[in-house]
């Protein structure tokens, strides 16, 4: 009677498992189907009918044993034990197999659940990024540096935080303007300042390209992207603050290059060459900047130079026919203008123009009249190759402040960089190796100067 009660209890348990809405999941259904044969088999083995049959067999064997031989009873009992083993061994093996299947399915279920949860959180982060509301003001200030140091990862800044740090994007905080882009100084607190570049949605492609490249590139002479924000039709990029602005502002702004000594100008040239060498030779894949100009060379408080604005950067050798022409008049290589041909030598040409700006203090394109412009390259080339005329084209700020041998070397490098034929231009690595010996050790070069560098030179 007790066995019948136990069996009834098992049936009730099975009924609850198969009819409870909270338990009836696809995974639970599969497990019930797997374990049902084992359950039925275990009931059949514990059935009274089987035991009755077994007892009859044993009693009959005992009776026959008395008539025939005393040893037959033992043989019959052993035969019955072997019969039980036939059921028990497959049952154990089947249970072990199904247990392994159960563990595997459990692992797959947990794995799938984890992936779905991660996908859901990423989707939510993307939606929040579009609203500019992913990080709170506190988290942005605390986590930006940690996130920026992660490869292929940058922080997402809250729009209200940027608005507060720039005093509602006040004109008093404007550091520079170029086309539809404006750069603001952002003061988050007394320990954290940054530069915020604001652009419209019509520059979405450049915005995405810059975030993509600068989130992966790490170099001492390439600007550090700290984060970004998308708010309505506006796009914001948050960079490390470069206190002395752009090289363009220093050379062609109100100060007219008065802060830039000969050695500082050479150090700036070396810094830019190092950035390009990293992009061309050490980046994987190699990168062509495509928009090198003095306004994209930024200077920190010590006049260390860093290359910025990677909106047009591309993988070297991946140019296609429908690619939009980019670059700034005066810096664009002749072969790019005439044939659309773009290589790392295009960056070398633009570097040569920047080097001429550092030497002469002149803009890459000068107004000759209301409808005429003259490029710095075409104006300077005849005089760069004539040593007697070379000193006359120098920026007055640095005139008579350098060793003439060094001046001739720098002029020769500039002439090679701006050659019309790309194959005549040197690799940026060769340019770098030519300039490093002209920069004092104190400023990152290898030149040993006999006289101590003044405080102006070492800033």
Q: What is the pLDDT of residues 88-101, one digit of tens each?
A: 666 667 777 777 77
Q: Examine the domain organization and report whether 279 and 399 are in the same domain.
A: yes
Q: How far apart are CA 125 and CA 114, in angstroms?
A: 17
pLDDT of residue 236: 93
Q: What are phi and psi of 212, to 5 degrees?
A: -60, -45
Q: How far apart are CA 122 and CA 231, in angstroms?
A: 19
Residue 454 lies in a domain: no
pLDDT of residue 52: 44
Q: Examine the domain organization and report whether 116 and 156 are in the same domain.
A: no
Lowest mean pLDDT among 149-163, 185-199, 330-344, 434-448: 149-163
Asked which of 192, 216, 240 is the last residue of a domain, the reply is 240
Q: Examine the domain organization and report whether 405 and 430 are in the same domain.
A: yes
Q: Where are the beta strands (DSSP E) in 317-452?
A: 365-367, 373-375
Which residues, 6+ apart, have CB-to-CB distance to 165 below 8 Å?
186, 187, 188, 194, 196
Residue 450 lies in a domain: no
Residue 457 lies in a domain: no
Q: Examine the domain organization and report whether 303 and 405 are in the same domain.
A: yes
Q: Which residues does the annotation mark as catalytic? A: 291
Q: Examine the domain organization and report whether 293 and 426 are in the same domain.
A: yes
Q: Examine the domain organization and report whether 390 and 268 are in the same domain.
A: yes
pLDDT of residue 139: 44
Q: Is a pLDDT exceeding 80 seen at residue 429?
A: yes
**Residue 233: CATH number of its domain:** 3.30.200.20
Q: Examine the domain organization and report whether 120 and 197 are in the same domain.
A: no
The answer to whether the CB of 324 falls within 8 A of the CB of 340 is no
Q: How far apart are CA 452 and CA 441, in angstroms?
A: 11
Kind and range of the H or E run holding 432: helix 428-435
pLDDT of residue 49: 43
Which residues, 6+ apart, have CB-to-CB distance to 229 below 8 Å?
132, 156, 157, 158, 159, 162, 235, 236, 238
Residue 92 lies in a domain: yes
Show the tokens assigned to 336. Answer: 């790019």
pTM for this entry: 0.66
Share of the chain above pLDDT 70, in %: 65
Q: How far apart are CA 425 and CA 114, in angstroms?
A: 54
Radius of gyration of the chain (CA): 39
By C-alpha distance, which of 27, 29, 30, 34 is closest to 19? 29
Q: Examine the domain organization and report whether 66 and 101 are in the same domain.
A: yes
Question: Does residue 186 sit in helix, strand or coil?
Answer: strand
Lowest mean pLDDT among 60-74, 189-203, 321-335: 60-74
Q: Examine the domain organization and report whether 306 and 435 are in the same domain.
A: yes
By C-alpha distance, which of 44, 47, 55, 53 is closest to 91? 44
Lowest mean pLDDT among 137-146, 177-186, 391-400, 419-428: 137-146
Which residues, 6+ apart, have CB-to-CB distance to 100 below 8 Å?
none
Q: Is a pLDDT exceeding 60 seen at residue 301?
A: yes
Q: Examine the domain organization and report whether 141 and 125 are in the same domain.
A: no
More confidently predicted of 103 and 30: 103
Structural domain that includes position 125: 2-130
Average pLDDT, the chain: 77
Q: Examine the domain organization and report whether 24 and 69 are in the same domain.
A: yes
Q: Examine the domain organization and report whether 41 and 102 are in the same domain.
A: yes
Asked which of 193, 214, 240 is the last residue of a domain, the reply is 240
pLDDT of residue 74: 47
pLDDT of residue 104: 75
Residue 448 lies in a domain: no
Q: How far apart are CA 36 and CA 92, in angstroms?
A: 15
Residue 365 lies in a domain: yes
pLDDT tens digits, 7-59 = 555 555 555 555 555 555 555 565 555 555 555 555 555 554 444 444 444 44
**Residue 439: CATH number of its domain:** 1.10.510.10
Which residues, 6+ apart, have CB-to-CB distance to 427 below 8 Å?
280, 344, 348
CA-angle at 168, arms to 166 and 169, nearest 5°: 60
For residue 182, the cross-strand partners are 177, 198
Q: How confident is the model at residue 444 (pLDDT cuts 50, 70, 90)?
A: confident
By C-alpha distance, which of 284, 281, 290, 306 is closest to 426? 281
pLDDT of residue 352: 97
More confidently predicted of 332 and 57: 332
pLDDT of residue 11: 55
Q: Is a pLDDT exceeding 70 seen at residue 81?
A: no
Q: Report the domain count for the chain.
A: 3
pLDDT of residue 137: 40
The answer to whether the CB of 182 falls within 8 A of the CB of 174 is yes
Residue 12 lies in a domain: yes
In terms of DSSP bridges, do strands 297-299 and 174-178 run parallel, antiparallel, or are they unpaired?
unpaired
Asked which of 240, 260, 277 is the last residue of a domain, the reply is 240
Residue 421 lies in a domain: yes
**From the DSSP assignment, how many helices (H) and strands (E) are in the chain?**
14, 12
Q: How far apart are CA 216 and CA 284, in angstroms?
A: 10
Lowest mean pLDDT among 131-135, 173-177, 277-281, 284-288: 131-135
pLDDT tens digits, 138-156 = 344 434 433 344 445 688 9
Cis check: omega of the bond before 346, within 30 degrees of 0: no
């Amino acid at each position: 009677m007790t066995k019948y009660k136990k069996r009834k209890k098992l049936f009730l348990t099975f009924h609850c498992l198969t009819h409870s809405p909270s338990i009836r999941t696809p995974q639970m259904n599969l497990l019930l189907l797997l374990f049902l044969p084992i359950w039925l088999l275990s009931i059949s083995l514990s059935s009274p009918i089987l035991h009755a049959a077994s007892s009859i067999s044993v009693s009959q064997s005992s009776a026959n044993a008395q008539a025939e031989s005393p040893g037959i009873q033992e043989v019959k009992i052993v035969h019955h034990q072997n019969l039980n083993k036939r059921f028990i061994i497959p049952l154990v093996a089947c249970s072990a197999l199904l247990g392994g299947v159960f563990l595997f399915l459990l692992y797959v279920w947990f794995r799938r659940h984890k992936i779905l949860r991660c996908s859901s959180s990423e989707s939510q982060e993307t939606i929040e990024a579009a609203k500019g509301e992913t990080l709170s003001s506190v988290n942005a200030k605390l986590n930006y540096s940690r996130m920026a140091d992660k490869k292929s990862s940058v922080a997402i800044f809250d729009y209200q935080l940027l608005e507060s740090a720039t005093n509602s994007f006040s004109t008093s905080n404007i550091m520079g303007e170029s086309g539809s882009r404006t750069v603001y100084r952002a003061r988050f607190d007394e320990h954290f300042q940054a530069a915020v570049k604001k652009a419209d949605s019509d520059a979405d492609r450049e915005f995405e390209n810059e975030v993509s490249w600068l989130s992966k590139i790490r170099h001492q002479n390439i600007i550090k992207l700290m984060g970004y924000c998308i708010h309505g039709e506006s796009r914001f990029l948050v960079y490390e603050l470069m206190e002395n602005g752009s090289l363009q502002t220093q050379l062609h702004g109100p100060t007219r290059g008065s802060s830039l000594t000969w050695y500082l100008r050479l150090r700036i040239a070396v810094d830019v060459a190092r950035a390009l060498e990293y992009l061309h030779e050490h980046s994987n894949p190699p990168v062509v900047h495509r928009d090198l100009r003095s306004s994209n060379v930024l200077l920190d408080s010590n006049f260390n130079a860093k290359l910025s604005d990677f909106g047009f950067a591309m993988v070297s050798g991946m140019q296609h026919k429908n690619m939009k022409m980019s670059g700034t008049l005066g810096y664009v290589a002749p072969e790019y203008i005439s044939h659309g041909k773009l290589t790392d030598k295009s960056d070398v040409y633009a570097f040569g123009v920047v080097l001429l700006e550092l030497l002469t203090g002149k803009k890459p394109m000068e107004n000759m009249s209301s409808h005429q412009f003259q490029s710095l390259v075409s104006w300077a080339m005849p005089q760069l190759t004539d040593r007697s005329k070379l000193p006359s084209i120098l920026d007055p700020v640095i005139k008579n402040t350098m060793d003439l041998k060094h001046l001739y070397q720098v002029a020769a490098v500039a002439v090679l960089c701006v050659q019309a034929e790309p194959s005549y231009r040197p690799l940026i690595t060769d340019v770098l190796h030519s300039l490093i010996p002209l920069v004092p050790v104190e400023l990152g070069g290898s030149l040993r100067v006999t006289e101590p560098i003044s405080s102006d030179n070492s800033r």
